[in-house]
Amino acid sequence: MATLIITTVIGGRRERHRWARDALTDAFVAFLEASWRHSDKAAQAASAGADAEQLLAEYREMRSQLTRMRLLATDGVVDAGQSLLRQQRQVHDVPAGPDRDAALAAASSARRGVIAAAKKEMGLL
């Protein structure tokens, strides 16, 4: 009977940890995918005319996923995510041209910071 109780408790903890890790992984992936889509659309908008609504939709998706990350991740990951979100907003706010190119480069650097923080969080570094 004691073995059954211990097994149930340990199994339940493992399942909760597995669920949290999977949910966090999903949030990381969705956050980064929205960031890449936002940057790609902003870069294309430089030559094809900006569609601010599409850019804003990707930015909103990033904010939504960052909220999930806040619930599941450590402060280091959240800080990296907030930094990237701010950089993506800068991409959104500056006009096409050299300023946008610089903002896209800064967003790319911040994205690498999120990836590093996510890998560390998941024990992959």
Is 11 among the domain residues?
no
The predicted-structure confidence for 55-88, as pLDDT tens digits, reads as follows 889 999 999 999 999 998 999 999 999 999 999 9
CA 50 to centroid of chain Cα atoms? 23
The predicted-structure confidence for 5-33, as pLDDT tens digits, reads as follows 666 656 666 777 787 788 889 999 999 99
Is 56 among the domain residues?
yes
Position 48 pLDDT exceeds 60: no
Q: pTM of the predicted model, to two decimals?
A: 0.81
The CATH number linked to 52 is 1.20.120
Confidence of residue 50 (pLDDT cuts 50, 70, 90): low
Domain with 60 in it? 23-121
Cβ partners under 8 Å of residue 100, min gap 6: 42, 43, 46, 91, 94
